[in-house]
Structures are given as structure tokens and as C-alpha cells.
């Protein structure tokens, strides 16, 4: 009987106590350097390069309805420009983001309209989700912990926004130790409530600094409150190149 009790306790602890068992690495200067370097590496695989142009197909599933948008997106640092490609009724619309300074341009309306970051123009995705990821630059590592995610050894990062300019205040981020890519992210409100999680797939490869590197192909965002609400962002036609500042200049964007 005691053996059975011991077995059940061990089983329960192994199931529910996994985070407690996880190996939290102390944040020494050396460890922080290593953690930051790995985070930077994972950022490269999610577009944080000197300039990138990609096509993003966004599918939003909400309340049993499906909405699809296709965008061509140019990103350079904190600047990004999304140009709507489809459906036909929105073709030619543009969303210009200079970090939190955002403008919406609609064909037929010569005047660009300033918008707040909260305005939803991309279905279930936040405006900031279409930009490249610079977690290493925008967030402070509060802790990182060894873990296993989908049978893959990884580190869980607890990230805190360095300032209010970024899309999310707090992120829990799973990064593969071997492949150096982000696998999963949980996003939290300021009050500490998790409101969405994202899963990443890497079916693309790019060459960066002479090395082949996995590159993000899909991001699936799930609403934590309403699990059936989901946004899938598929990345295609990835083209890494220098983009000039004039691509993000409002005077030149309205045709």
C-alpha cells in the first residue's frame, strides 16, 4: 500500500511539479551573456536582421468565422510597412508603423490617418506582430530556466519590457537550446494575466553571415481566454536586404 501511495505521489509530482523541478539558472553576468546571445540568435530566425521583406498570410478564426488577409511587409529596425494584397476590397491599404507611431493609408483617401497601437487592422494579430522580433533588444531577461518542450531541450525566458514602446509587457519564451529558435511564447498583460500564446514553426532556411539558419514560416496565436479564437500567420517569399529610409516615409507612400 505504501508503495502504491509513493508511486501516486511520485507520479503527481512528476506531472504537476515539473516547473518546480526545472533548473533555474542563476543570473550571473556570464549566464546573462549566454542567455542574451541565445535570445539574439532566436531573434535572427524571426526576422531581426538589417532589413526584411516578407509576405504574410493572416488567417483569423474567431467566433466560428474565418477572416483572411494577405500582406506584403517591409521591416527595418522599428520601422515596418504592411501593404494589403488581398482580399480585393482592402488591396492597396497600407499600415505604416514607426514603433508606436502608426498611420493607416487607404486608397481613395489621400490623407493618412494616425491610429493607436490598439486599433485592430490585422484580424486577431496585434499590429506589432507583423514586425520582426527583437526580444533581446526590447526586453530584460528576468530569469531563464531549463525545460523540455515537445521533447526538445529548451530554456524558458521570463522577459520584461524595457519600456512601454513594445507590443507586450511581459513574455514567457521557450527557446530551443540546440536549434536556437523560439518555439513558444506566452504573452501577459500588465496585471500578470496570460492573454495569448504563440507557437512557431521554422520550415524556411536563410543564409546569414555565411551560415544556414532556420527561419520562421508560421506563427499560431491562440487566445488564452477563448481557446477557439486563433490567428495563423504564414510567412513566405522572405527576402533579406537593406531597405532605405524612404520606404517608410509618409510623403512618399501615398500615391
Binding residues among 214-243 for other proteins as defined by CB under 8 A? 215, 217, 236-243
Q: 45 Cβ partners below 8 Å, 6+ apart?
A: 180, 181, 182, 202, 213, 214, 215, 216
- Of the residues 207, 225, 226, 228, which one makes contact with other proteins according to CB under 8 A: 207
d(CA 45, CA 81) in angstroms, rounded, equals 20
Q: Which stretch binds other proteins (CB under 8 A): 11-19, 114-122, 136-144, 154-162?
A: 114-122
65 lines the binding site for other proteins (CB under 8 A) = yes
Q: Does 177 bind other proteins (CB under 8 A)?
A: no
When binding is defined by CB under 8 A, the residue of 29, 151, 164, 227 that contacts other proteins is 164
DSSP conformation letters of 103-154: EEEETTEEEEEEE-TTS--STTS-GGGGSPP-HHHHEEEEEEEEEEETTEEE
**Smallest distance, Å, CB 60 to other proteins?**
12
| Binders in 30-49 for other proteins, by CB under 8 A | 49
Q: Does 12 bind other proteins (CB under 8 A)?
A: no
β partners of residue 180 = none
Whose Cβ is closer to other proteins: residue 143's or residue 247's? 247
211 binds other proteins (CB under 8 A): no
Rounded distance, CA 234 to CA 81, Å?
17
Amino acid at each position: 500500500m505504501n508503495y502504491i501511495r509513493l508511486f501516486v505521489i511520485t507520479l503527481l509530482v512528476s506531472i504537476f511539479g515539473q516547473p518546480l523541478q526545472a533548473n533555474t539558472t542563476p543570473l550571473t553576468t556570464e549566464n546573462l551573456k549566454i542567455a542574451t546571445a541565445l535570445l539574439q540568435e532566436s531573434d535572427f530566425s524571426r526576422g531581426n536582421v538589417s532589413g526584411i521583406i516578407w509576405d504574410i498570410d493572416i488567417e483569423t478564426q474567431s467566433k466560428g468565422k474565418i477572416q483572411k488577409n494577405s500582406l506584403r511587409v517591409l521591416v527595418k529596425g522599428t520601422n515596418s510597412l504592411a501593404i494589403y494584397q488581398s482580399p480585393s476590397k482592402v488591396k492597396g491599404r497600407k499600415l505604416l508603423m514607426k514603433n508606436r507611431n502608426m498611420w493607416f493609408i487607404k486608397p481613395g483617401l489621400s490623407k493618412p490617418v494616425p491610429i493607436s497601437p490598439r486599433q485592430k487592422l490585422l484580424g486577431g494579430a496585434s499590429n506589432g506582430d507583423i514586425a520582426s522580433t527583437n526580444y533581446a533588444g526590447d526586453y530584460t531577461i528576468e530569469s531563464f530556466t531549463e525545460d523540455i518542450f515537445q521533447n526538445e531541450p529548451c530554456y524558458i525566458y521570463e522577459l520584461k519590457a524595457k519600456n512601454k514602446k513594445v507590443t507586450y509587457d511581459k513574455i514567457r519564451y521557450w527557446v530551443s537550446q540546440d536549434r536556437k529558435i523560439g518555439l513558444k511564447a506566452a504573452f501577459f498583460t500588465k496585471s500578470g494575466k496570460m492573454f495569448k500564446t504563440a507557437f512557431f514553426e521554422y520550415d524556411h532556411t536563410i543564409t546569414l553571415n555565411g551560415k544556414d539558419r532556420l527561419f520562421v514560416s508560421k506563427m499560431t496565436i491562440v487566445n488564452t481566454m477563448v481557446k477557439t479564437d486563433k490567428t495563423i500567420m504564414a510567412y513566405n517569399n522572405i527576402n533579406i536586404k537593406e531597405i532605405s529610409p524612404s520606404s517608410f516615409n509618409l510623403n512618399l507612400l501615398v500615391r
